[in-house]
Structure 1
Amino acid sequence: MGRGRAKAKQTKVARELKYHTPPADFDALQRELSGDESPPPPPSVEDEEDDDPYADRYADKYRD
């Protein structure tokens, strides 16, 4: 039960994608493919360690 409504929605979305393509920004695509812009720098290692929610913040204080 209820499969007909889901299938109808999938069919509607598929038709929209097939027949109605969004406008393409060919200038932006050319810039991206030519590599005019420099890639963003990789994140530093220190930032990744600070973002770890499971890191033991007090490990340095209580070493045996």
Structure 2
Amino acid sequence: MGRGRAKAKQTKVARELKYYSPDTDLRALESELHGQSTKPATRATHDDARDADPDDYDDWSPPQR
């Protein structure tokens, strides 16, 4: 006995999570998907380019035939 209340609460929480639909900022999502930034652009300096991580994609891509 006692398991009924706990299981009922878990079921209630699971149902709320399943059917919960938060308000979505579609404009922010659209700008993020299109790569537009809402922040003002800044100029990159020579130091910024040196500190950037190298792109390791070439190490993982298959050899060209």
**TM-score between both structures, scaled by the size of structure 2:** 0.40
**TM-score between both structures, scaled by the size of structure 1:** 0.41
